[in-house]
């Protein structure tokens, strides 16, 4: 079954907008696990506009499921944090400085030598390493050549096309997922997955290991409550929809 990791960055954004510690991101990390999430994801950025580096340290001590820290590994501060906390998984994302949100995957061919070096650093510390990739079999293959344990497919293009042509939307992701499976890579996915498009995506790629969802899930929680929303997403993840291609 595909695991659901909840990204709690947006909780920190809300806290930071007012100052103080309401909502408390550490309590939220505890609660999302209690409500059924299979993991907690955070994505600290250099300006700490949402999750702060101290948040990462505080959250690390309360994780009972899996802790996934994602971010730009070209920032030494990020690398040092991950090596200090040793989460279950680190996801390498090629963010530019000041970027609003992640909007592209690594070119794993152009940056092959760099990725080999940094992946080796994390793996030597016993940390499973995932590379954020666009849905391109060549990029997936490059991640495998660099030594990655998993790839995370960047799903914004799927979400944008889903309403008008769900089959065309999912095809490049299915092709990339098949390549990942052929190469023995674990498979994650994330970005703009929601209650409307998640079930179809999951059904088309039934060997998907994990999705990491933040923005849409937190928005839905405003209406449905956090506990109920996590259960809604978990039901969508493992609901048979359409035809799944092997």
Closest C-alpha among 14, 1, 42, 19 to residue 214:
42
Does residue 180 belong to any structural domain of this protein? yes
Domain range holding 89? Answer: 3-237
Residue 115: C-alpha distances to residues 91, 148, 199 (Å): 12, 9, 32
CB distance 155 to 201 below 8 Å:
yes
- Cα 93 vs. chain centroid, distance in angstroms? 10
Question: How high is the pLDDT of residue 32?
Answer: 98
**240 against 213, higher pLDDT:** 213
**Quick check: is 191 catalytic?**
yes
CB 93 within 8 A of CB 43: yes
pLDDT digits (tens, 9 = 90+) for 97-129: 665 555 678 999 999 999 999 999 999 999 999
Residue 146 has pLDDT above 90, yes or no: yes
Residue 70 annotated among the catalytic residues of the structure: yes
Residue 242 domain-assigned? no
Confidence at residue 101, expressed as pLDDT on a 0 to 100 scale: 59
| Domain annotation covers residue 74 | yes
pLDDT-based confidence at residue 246 (cuts at 50, 70, 90): very low
- Could you give the percent of the chain with pLDDT greater than 70? 94
The chain-wide mean pLDDT, for the chain, equals: 94
What distance in Å separates the CA atoms of residue 157 and residue 134, rounded to the nearest whole number? 9
Residue 156 in domain: yes
C-beta separation of 202 from 208 below 8 A: yes
Of residues 162, 79, 181, 171, the one with CA closest to residue 121: 79
Is residue 243 situated within a structural domain?
no
pLDDT of 179 > 90? The answer is yes
Asked if residues 2 and 208 have their Cβ atoms less than 8 Å apart, the reply is yes
pLDDT digit string, tens, across residues 15-28: 999 999 999 999 99
Over residues 191-202, the pLDDT tens digits come to 999 999 999 999
Q: How far apart are CA 138 and CA 123, in angstroms?
A: 23
Q: Which of 66, 152, 179, 191 is catalytic?
A: 191
What is the distance between the alpha carbons of residues 211 and 228, in angstroms, rounded to a whole number? 18
Per-residue model confidence as pLDDT tens digits over 39-64? 999 999 988 989 999 999 999 999 99
H-helix or E-strand spanning residue 130: strand 128-133
User: How many domains are contained in the chain?
Assistant: 1
Position 187 pLDDT exceeds 50: yes
Kindly name the residue from 70, 152, 179, 210 that is annotated as catalytic.
70
Please compute the mean of the pLDDT values over residues 62-71 and round it to a whole number.
98
Please tell me the distance from the alpha carbon of residue 127 to that of residue 87, in angstroms, as a whole number. Answer: 7
Q: To 5 degrees, how large is the angle CA 45–CA 49–CA 53?
A: 55
Q: What is the CATH number of the domain that holds 178?
A: 3.20.20.70
Mean pLDDT, range 223-234, rounded to an integer:
98
pLDDT digits (tens, 9 = 90+) for 159-168: 999 999 999 9
């Amino acid at each position: 079954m595909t695991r659901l990791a909840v990204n709690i960055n947006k909780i920190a954004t809300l806290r930071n907008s007012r100052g103080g510690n309401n909502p408390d991101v550490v309590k939220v990390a505890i609660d999302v696990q209690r409500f059924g999430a299979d993991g907690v994801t955070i994505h600290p950025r250099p300006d700490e506009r949402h999750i702060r580096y101290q948040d990462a340290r505080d959250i690390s001590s309360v994780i009972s499921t899996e802790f996934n820290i994602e971010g730009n590994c070209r920032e030494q501060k990020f690398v040092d944090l991950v090596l200090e906390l040793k989460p279950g998984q680190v996801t390498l994302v090629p963010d530019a400085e000041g970027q609003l949100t992640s909007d592209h995957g690594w070119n794993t061919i152009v940056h092959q030598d760099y990725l080999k070096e940094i992946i080796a650093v994390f793996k030597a510390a016993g940390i499973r390493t995932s590379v954020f990739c666009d849905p391109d079999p060549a990029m997936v293959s490059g991640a495998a050549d660099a030594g990655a344990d998993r790839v995370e497919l960047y799903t914004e293009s799927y979400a944008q096309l889903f309403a008008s042509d769900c089959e065309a939307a999912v095809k490049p992701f299915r092709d990339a997922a098949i390549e990942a499976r052929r190469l023995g890579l674990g498979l994650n996915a994330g970005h703009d997955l929601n209650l409307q498009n998640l079930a179809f995506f999951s059904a088309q790629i039934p060997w998907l290991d994990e999705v990491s969802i933040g923005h849409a899930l937190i928005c839905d929680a405003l209406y449905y409550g956090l506990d109920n929303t996590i259960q809604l997403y978990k039901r969508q993840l493992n609901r048979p929809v359409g035809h799944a291609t092997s």
